[in-house]
């Protein structure tokens, strides 16, 4: 299946909220746990199904990892015009600060694949950055 840039990609917006999970973290073991809640809004005229995701995860020391997989949190939701799909997931870092970005692979009604960008966002201990 061919992936192409679609005008539909520009009709989806992605918003992110992050949270540090102190109760699950252990700074002595260099384990910093964060949750993130993502809302994907379809502002366009057509439905599309989220089929896969690709994350680039970078810690404060510049170490990167790439995570790819089907759907999000075990689902491959169809997002209809005017709807927002929201889910929460998490990530563990070896440093108290890190970033994530990536994209979602979506399929339009004709089963053509296109990408929706997930803009870079920071995960950080509260008050660690000014």
Q: What are the extents of the domains in the chain?
A: 7-124
Superfamily of domain 7-124: ApaG domain (2.60.40.1470)
The pLDDT-based confidence of 6 (bands split at 50, 70, 90) is low
pTM assigned to the model: 0.90
- As a 3-state breakdown, the chain gives helix, strand, coil percent values, each rounded to 5, of 10, 60, 30
CA angle (77, 82, 114) in 5-degree steps? 50
pLDDT tens profile 34-88:
999 999 999 999 999 999 999 999 999 999 999 999 999 999 999 999 999 999 9
User: What's the chain's average pLDDT?
Assistant: 93
Burial class (CB in 10 A: 0-12, 13-18, 19+), 42: buried
Residue 106 in this model has a pLDDT that exceeds 50? yes
pLDDT of 93 reads: 97
Residue 3 in this model has a pLDDT that exceeds 60? no
């Amino acid at each position: 299946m061919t992936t192409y840039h679609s005008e539909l990609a520009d009709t989806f917006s992605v918003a992110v909220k992050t949270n540090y999970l102190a109760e699950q973290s252990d700074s002595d073991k260099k384990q910093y746990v964060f949750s993130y809640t993502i809302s994907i809004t379809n502002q366009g005229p057509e439905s599309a199904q989220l089929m896969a995701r690709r994350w680039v995860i970078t810690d404060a020391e510049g170490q990167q990892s790439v995570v790819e997989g089907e759907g999000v949190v075990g689902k491959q939701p169809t997002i209809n015009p005017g709807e927002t799909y929201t889910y929460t997931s998490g990530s563990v870092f070896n440093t108290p600060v890190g970033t994530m970005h990536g994209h979602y692979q979506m399929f339009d009604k004709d089963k053509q694949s296109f990408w929706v960008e997930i803009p870079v966002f920071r995960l950080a201990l509260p008050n660690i950055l000014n």
